[in-house]
């Protein structure tokens, strides 16, 4: 029997980072002590009070049944209350909140909700590769918006070709940014709302790292901007805020019609998250947020060890203001893949080549601050010992 995949699957982008994982595993199999800083998987456990809440909730037989398709209202209310407390954003839990199977799911779904073949989606370059997956599944075209150091890693809307702008229906943004670690100021979001209104473009703000700001700065939510809910939505996840990556809890917030469409497509894919996970997520959002502040402080200490060590050794590295990544320029004479391979082979340190996040990522590698300070100092020492 000759089984052929659908065209939409053949059009999916290659998973660049699967080869990176294979290289790490091969090096470990050879007996090397590899410090893996190439992935974005939080290394610390979920806070104990959230785990205990899950244990209690799973003992309730009611949570073993199908939950409502669009999720528990009590979780939507907790999300709305949390956004009000943290970002002073007012949300209607009934019409402006959609529960997601992790933030990634919503970021892929929104393209399928809004884009047709022939439409254009504006994506940051470098950016999170799963934006590309949703656009490919929709059959639309991607137009890259370069994020350059000279412009603080913010897109320059004036550089988008006029013909592509006329076809654009959707735009992804992500601050604090993966992979560059840049943050966006309020003025940028004000410009973005005006730009979206003028060009009839829906904004999809990926705020996955919204809880991780440094040096006393709180990252700005797109939804804090006047008019934001008229032009777009924001995606959030509990993965980074509470080290709940494996729990797969995310949500989309904002424009009522976009939220309705996300709920509609999910009605055909899922029967919502397990009720015990949703109830434990209520605990995460409604309890003391001291664990979140402690987590951000942990990442700041790690940042200071890693970036401080490289800068002391003469590396030209910008100090991240948010996220748990560092965007490191590669030495002269190297491409990002070559440099990443050199670090793995000679220093047994794995980093992610910047080109895997888009053409404008060439010349950089992404480093995840996802191991303890002693291990990060060891990574710095190894990187500084090799001959480049």
Residues 314-355: tens digit of each pLDDT: 999 999 999 999 999 999 999 999 999 999 999 999 999 999
In this prediction, residue 24 carries a pLDDT of: 85
What stretches in the chain show pLDDT beneath 70?
A: none
Backbone angles phi, psi at 261, to 5 degrees: -70, -40
Arithmetic mean of pLDDT over the chain: 96
In this prediction, residue 23 carries a pLDDT of: 85
Domains and CATH numbers, the chain: 7-45+291-385 (3.90.1150.10), 52-286 (3.40.640.10)
In this prediction, residue 387 carries a pLDDT of: 72
Find the Cα–Cα–Cα–Cα dihedral 273, 274, 280, 282, rounded to 10°.
40
In this prediction, residue 133 carries a pLDDT of: 94
Q: Return d(Cα 141, Cα 164) in angstroms, integer.
A: 9
Q: Return d(Cα 185, Cα 189) in angstroms, integer.
A: 7
| Contact residues for 264 (Cβ-Cβ < 8 A; gap 6+) | 113
In this prediction, residue 318 carries a pLDDT of: 94
In this prediction, residue 50 carries a pLDDT of: 98
CA proximity to 167, closest of 192, 140, 191: 140
| Contact residues for 59 (Cβ-Cβ < 8 A; gap 6+) | none
pLDDT tens readout for residues 114-130: 999 999 999 999 999 99
């Amino acid at each position: 029997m000759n089984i052929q995949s659908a065209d939409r699957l053949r059009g999916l982008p290659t998973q660049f980072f699967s080869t990176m994982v294979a290289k790490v595993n091969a090096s470990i199999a050879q007996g090397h002590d590899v410090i893996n800083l190439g992935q974005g998987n939080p290394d610390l456990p979920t806070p104990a009070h959230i785990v205990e809440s899950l244990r209690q909730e799973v003992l309730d037989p009611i949570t073993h049944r199908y939950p409502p398709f669009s999720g528990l209202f009590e979780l939507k209310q907790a999300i709305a209350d949390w956004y009000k407390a943290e970002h002073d954003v007012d949300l209607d839990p009934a019409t402006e909140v959609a529960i997601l199977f992790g933030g990634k799911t919503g970021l892929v779904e929104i393209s399928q909700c809004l884009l047709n073949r022939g439409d254009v989606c504006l994506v940051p370059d470098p950016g999170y590769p799963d934006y590309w997956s949703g656009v490919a599944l929709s059959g639309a075209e991607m137009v890259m918006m370069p994020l350059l150091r000279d412009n603080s890693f913010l897109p320059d809307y004036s550089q988008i070709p006029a013909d592509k702008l006329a076809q654009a229906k959707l735009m992804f943004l992500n601050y604090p940014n993966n992979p560059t670690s840049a943050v966006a100021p309020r003025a940028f979001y004000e410009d973005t709302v005006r730009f979206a209104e003028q060009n009839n473009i829906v904004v999809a703000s990926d705020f996955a790292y919204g809880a991780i700001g440094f040096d006393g700065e709180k990252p700005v939510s797109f939804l804090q901007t006047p008019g934001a809910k008229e032009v777009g939505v924001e995606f959030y996840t509990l993965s980074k805020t509470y080290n709940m990556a494996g729990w797969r809890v995310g949500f989309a917030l904002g424009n009522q019609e976009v939220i309705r469409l996300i709920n509609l497509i999910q009605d055909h894919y899922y029967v919502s998250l397990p009720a015990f996970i949703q109830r434990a997520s209520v605990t995460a959002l409604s309890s003391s947020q001291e664990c979140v502040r402690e987590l951000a402080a942990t990442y700041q200490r790690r940042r200071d060890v890693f970036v401080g060590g490289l800068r002391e050794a003469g590396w030209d590295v910008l100090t991240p203001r948010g996220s748990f990544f560092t965007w490191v320029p590669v030495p002269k004479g190297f491409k990002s893949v070559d440099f990443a391979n050199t670090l793995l082979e000679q220093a047994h340190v794995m980093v992610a080549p910047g080109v895997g996040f888009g053409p404008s990522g060439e010349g950089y590698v992404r480093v995840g601050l996802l191991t303890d300070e002693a291990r990060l100092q060891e990574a710095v020492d190894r990187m500084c010992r090799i001959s480049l």
